[in-house]
A and B are shown apart, each in its own frame.
Chain A
Amino acid sequence: MLTKTKNVAFLFLVVLLLAALAACGGQTTTTEPAANTGGTTTDAPAQPAAPTTAPTAPTARKVATFIWTQEFDNLNPMYTNMWFSAITQQIWNASAWNFDVDNNPNPVLVTEIPSPENGGISPDGRTITIKLRDDIKWSDGTPITSADFIFSYEMLMNPANTVNSTYPYSLITEISAPDERTVVTTFEEPFIPWVANLWGFVLPKHILEPVFEAEGSLDTAPWNLAPTVSAGPYVFAEWESGSYARFVRNENYYGTPAKIDEIFFRFVPDDAAQVAALRTGTGDLGTFISQADIPTLEQAGIEVFAVVSGYDEGWYIYFGKEAHPALADKRVRQAIAMCFDRFSINRDLLLGLTQPAVTFWDNTPYANPNLAPWPYDPASANALLDQAGWIDSNGDGVRDKDGVELILKHGTTTRAIRQDTQAVAQQNLAGCGIRLEPVGFASNVFFQSYGGGGPMPTGQLDIGQWSASEAFPDPDSSRWLCSEIPTDQYPDGVNDQKICDEELDRLFRLQATQIDFEERQKTFWRIGEIMYDNVYWLGVWQDLDTWAISARMENVKISGASPFYSIAEWDIKQ
């Protein structure tokens, strides 16, 4: 009996030991915010079994907690394109410019947005010159200069660094810094979508250059997970893997100091748990809120609003040689558009918070204002199908032609709203004699390239459904270029639909060279018209980003292109 008692005691000791180990905070990635004086932002790394953020002053600190359903992968903008990490950069890092609530560019590190009028853009559109502000500095007080921009370019282009993307820097033929405040970039051809792609971040040369020289690469630099200096209104303080990351006010910020003292990002991967966190007041902000949860949150006094982010959910029709023969006929595609009740999807599944997308560029100046969504009109759809020769000759409820049944494979990811849409579409199209066979895929499988055996580019589907935005707020896209059709020789092409429309191709190439806004806008209106008439892409809903904000937050403004552009002005009601 004594031995058994000892065993039980031993087990409890093990548990207690584990609790103590876990409470030690050994896995917290922390950094001393370099120049945060005044004691408010220099909390030491967590001590064993001690609060990580002990109150330092009797006055109430303003602390906000944001709920992120995905944890950052890392914090070095060179190594991540993850949305949750990229938008967090706007809190602590800085870009040359960001975008305001109307998605217009707003100077941050530069004195003004480059334009042909101020000499920032050369007449041929190949050279873009930025002029830096005189007062910008890193949080440790070191001035931000053109050398930081040149260093950022060099690190992106150095093959020793496995960066996520070298675009658009790989298109630069010449880069120079005539002085500490000027950066000149020259492209081989006019580079029109620069505003959405260029200088989205800058790296601190004085911190990272020694690391690169010592290690030969930045791939494993500790800075990637714990940036020691920042250029934004906040500085990184700590990151507890799987739990949270903390940012504190940058006391050396060159702009208006942030009003909130600390921001916590808590990683809560489950959507329902995110809603619970917002309802219980654990979180002040959440995003990608499911439409079904919006009434519950609003009842709890949480404001929910949608922001235009350039994304539109749509059906991508496949045109490769494996495609269903019916899809080659424009009338069949138009019939599908009229037979699919996208209005009920928006009204019933999306609670009327959005509407069917008409073009790929809805809610931007590049959406053709003369187009309206295809109506839900099964009678006209059936007439078109009859006209195209697709009739139900064998009485099985499915139209056929030349012995081929009109059965289409529709694929999308396993996201609930997409699965629901598949069910509605299946029922709608059945009413027109079209059988839709829905298939669901995990995201990392569904979005694979042709080379990786992705279901869409390899012709396993007739219709694919997803949401995309190429370079919002710029409308540029290479998705429909003939040269982007993936093949065995070019397995990474992005034209998953394998569409090659010569006029469309010509217009897409033309817009990429048009410096004049109005001319480019007209080109996109024509592109939209062609895509609409031919139903190359059928918009299902405008995929707005949904945000939930607690009642104690105030002065919150969120932009679709750079959500935290005004974070320094956000406040908490006392």
Chain B
Amino acid sequence: MTRYVIRRLLQSIPLLFVVSLILFVLLNNIGDPLTMMGGRNPTRPEDRERLARQLGLDQPILMQYVYWLVGNDWTMIDVDGDGEPETPGRRKGVLRGDFGISILTRGKPALDIIWERIPNTLLLMIPAQIVILVLGLGVGIYSALRQYSWVDNAVTTLSFVGFSMPIFLIALLSIYLFSVLFQRWGLPYLPANGMFDPQVGKTAAQIAKHMILPIFAIAFIDVARYSRYVRSAMLEVMSQDYIRTAKAKGLRRVTIIMVHALRNASLPIITLVGLDLPFLLAGAVVTERIFAWPGMGRLFLDHLERSDGAVVMGIVILLAVAVILSQILTDIVYAVFDPRIRYD
């Protein structure tokens, strides 16, 4: 297993290079960071020419990638525009941990900007994932064990409603109901946005209160998705011979379900969780935006809208690493749950 993990990690290095090159080229083609630097007015031609030179955006795309990867402190750059490179470069490059300086948030390295938001995103996404898993498993198992009962039919209907509703609608409806209307009706209401009320302070109680609506919005759709997968997997497993054998042996129903059935039904669920793991880091773009939650999804959108390459590349590379690691982790968990799987 150790050898397998090491081999997978080594294989991921060239993969990351390829991914980073593709993303870098794509990012350079979806927007021009200089366009938005004039604010509500177009950037003046003379400023555009100067900024392109100072920021290295006048270089060929592959040279820009090389600077991003290994830095430019080994060469001289022309910052005054006289055609003669005279100033040593300052960038160290991603390979030395320097993701560059954001062209928006001056004064803070891109990596610091990203690290600031990761705890906020995990704080929202981990509890949301726990809620999704607990409810998804519970509803899915219950539904499978009582197939075609009124509960199963009701859950199926609700699942389709959950599947069909866009998350922004759930988010906006929940704000309107639990925040605006509850306040109007004189009921205890939930905060509509933010991670805490700045006038009260960043206390654990405040954060918990502000987490309720975004978690509800995220979980609503995913509980529906997970419960369908669990139901389907459990139905398949429950009709297997070994379950019948277990029943014939007189094992307790709980043991049959939790030990024999759920364990065997868990492989597709592990796949699902494995695919979702990187999104714990990526955050929920729409939810974070609507609820003004200061997480990674919102950071990504804010900086993508203004083509801030340093921060956007930092986030996508981080996610690429997260995807690779989560896939390796999923493979390991497969082996734990299914003794037939061997990687050596």
Contact = CB atoms under 8 A, between A and B. Distances in A.
Interface string A206-242: 0000000000000111111100000000000000111
B44 interface: yes
B305 A52 contact: no
Interface in B256-300: 289-295, 298-299
A442 B31 contact: yes
Interface stretch (B1-9, B100-108, B141-149, B330-338): B100-108
Contact of B47 (A86, A164, A224, A443): A164
B47 to A, nearest CB: 5
A269 B180 contact: no
Given A166-B50, A242-B294, A449-B32, A444 B305 contact: yes
Interface of B: 30-32, 34-51, 54-55, 79-81, 87, 101, 103-108, 113, 116-117, 119-120, 122-123, 126-127, 130, 172, 175-176, 179-180, 183, 189, 191-204, 207-208, 289-295, 298-299, 301-302, 305-307
A86 B39 contact: yes
Interface stretch (A17-25, A182-190, A373-381, A527-535): A17-25
Interface string A458-499: 000000000011100000000000001000001011100000
Contacts of A451: 48
Instruction: Bin chain A's interface residue count.
Output: 35 or more
A351 to B, nearest CB: 21
A270 B290 contact: yes
Contact of A444 (B31, B180, B293): B31
Interface string A281-321: 01000000000000000000000000000010000000000
Nearest to A264: B198
B37 A224 contact: no
B258 to A, nearest CB: 10
A166 B130 contact: no
Given A15-B126, A221-B107, A273 B292 contact: yes
A222 to B, nearest CB: 6
Contact of B105 (A20, A74, A445): A74
Contacts of B301: 269
Contacts of B189: 280
A266 B193 CA distance: 9
A82 interface: yes
Contacts of B290: 270, 272-273
Given A15-B127, A270-B292, A280 B45 contact: no
B207 A268 contact: no
A270 B55 contact: no
Contact of A447 (B42, B51, B196, B204): B42
A50 to B, nearest CB: 6
B104 A74 contact: yes
Contacts of A219: 101, 106-107
B201 A54 contact: yes
A270 to B, nearest CB: 5
A468 B41 contact: yes
A28 B175 CA distance: 27
A384 B337 CA distance: 78
A50 B198 CA distance: 11
Contacts of A273: 175, 192-193, 290-292
Interface of A: 11, 14-15, 18-23, 25-27, 46, 49-54, 63, 65, 70-71, 73-74, 76, 79-83, 86, 159-160, 162, 164-167, 170, 219-225, 240-244, 246, 264, 266-270, 272-273, 276-277, 279-280, 282, 311, 442-445, 447-449, 451-452, 454, 468-470, 484, 490, 492-494
B41 A269 contact: no
Given A220-B107, A225-B107, A243-B195, A81 B126 contact: no
A167 B44 CA distance: 8
B192 A52 contact: no
12 contacts: A21-B123, A22-B119, A22-B123, A80-B39, A160-B79, A165-B38, A244-B194, A268-B193, A276-B192, A280-B189, A282-B193, A452-B34
Contacts of A264: 198-199
B199 A65 contact: yes
A494 B126 contact: no
A276 B198 contact: no
Contacts of A79: 106
Contacts of A449: 32, 34-35, 42-43, 45, 48
Contacts of A82: 39, 104
Query: Which 8 A-B pairs give the minimum distances between C-beta atoms?
Result: A242-B294, A51-B201, A81-B39, A492-B45, A73-B104, A444-B31, A224-B107, A27-B116
Contacts of B293: 242
Given A23-B207, A82-B39, A242-B117, A53 B32 contact: no
B201 A46 contact: yes
A444 B32 contact: yes
Given A241-B116, A280-B179, 19 more contacts: A19-B123, A19-B204, A19-B207, A25-B202, A51-B202, A70-B302, A73-B105, A159-B81, A164-B39, A220-B106, A221-B106, A240-B202, A243-B294, A272-B175, A273-B175, A276-B175, A444-B35, A469-B40, A494-B42
A223 B107 contact: yes
A282 B192 contact: yes
Nearest to A281: B183
B52 to A, nearest CB: 9
A443 B305 contact: yes
Contacts of B130: 11, 15
B108 A225 contact: yes
A367 B161 CA distance: 55
A167 B131 CA distance: 54
B195 A269 contact: no
B119 A18 contact: yes
B194 A22 contact: no
A460 B188 CA distance: 54
B80 A270 contact: no
B227 to A, nearest CB: 20
Nearest to B29: A453
Given A53-B199, A167-B46, A23 B289 contact: no
B302 A269 contact: yes
Contacts of B208: 19
A522 B37 CA distance: 33
Contacts of A492: 45-46, 48-49
Contacts of A469: 40-41
B183 to A, nearest CB: 5
A162 B79 CA distance: 9
